[in-house]
Amino acid sequence: EIVLTQSPTTMAASPGEKVTLNCLASSSVSYMNWYQQKSGASPKLWIYGTSNLASGVPNRFSGSGSGTSYSLTISSMEAEDVATYYCLQLSSYPYTFGAGTKLELK
């Protein structure tokens, strides 16, 4: 089973600040998906295939990475970005999620 380790576990960012969330895989994966989940809501696909923004996702978000190291970047933090972000690998079974990064507003 591929273990995904997300860092940091929690972080607070100020409006306008650049934010980078990391996802490290225990073995190489072909690509990574990212999900945004707000409190009390279902997760939403946010980034797919490592770097493709899902429909409706603001272009201040971007994704990158390869092999075992992936990241989600927000170029300029906004209040609406407060949420928990999860990475998901679909390269091997069982599919596995990271434990999530909770992003708060400073």
Partner 1 sequence: QVQLKESGPGLVQPSQTLSLTCTVSGFSLTSNSVHWVRQPPGKGLEWVGAIWSGGSTDYNSALKSRLSISRDTSKSQVFLKMNSLQTEDTAIYFCTRWVRDWGQGVMVTVSS
CB of 84 vs partner 1, minimal distance in Å: 8
Judged by DSSP in three states, 22 sits in strand
The reply to whether 1 sits near partner 1 by the rule CB under 8 A is yes
N residues, the chain: 106
Among 25, 36, 100, 103, binds partner 1 (CB under 8 A): 100
Under 8 Å between Cβ of 89 and 61: no
Residue 5 DSSP SS3: strand
User: Stretches 11-19, 23-31, 66-74, 89-97: which one binds partner 1 (CB under 8 A)?
Assistant: 89-97
Q: Considering the rule CB under 8 A, would residue 12 count as an interface residue with partner 1?
A: no
Q: Using CA atoms, how far apart are residues 53 and 86, in angstroms rounded to an integer?
A: 15
Long-range contacts at 42-51 (CB < 8 A, ≥ 24 apart): 43/86, 46/72, 46/85, 47/72
> Does residue 95 touch partner 1 according to CB under 8 A?
yes
Please tell me whether residue 53 binds partner 1 under the rule CB under 8 A: no
Least distance from partner 1 to the Cβ atom of residue 54, Å = 8
Interaction site with partner 1 (CB under 8 A) = 1, 33, 35, 37, 42-45, 48, 54, 86, 88, 90, 93-100
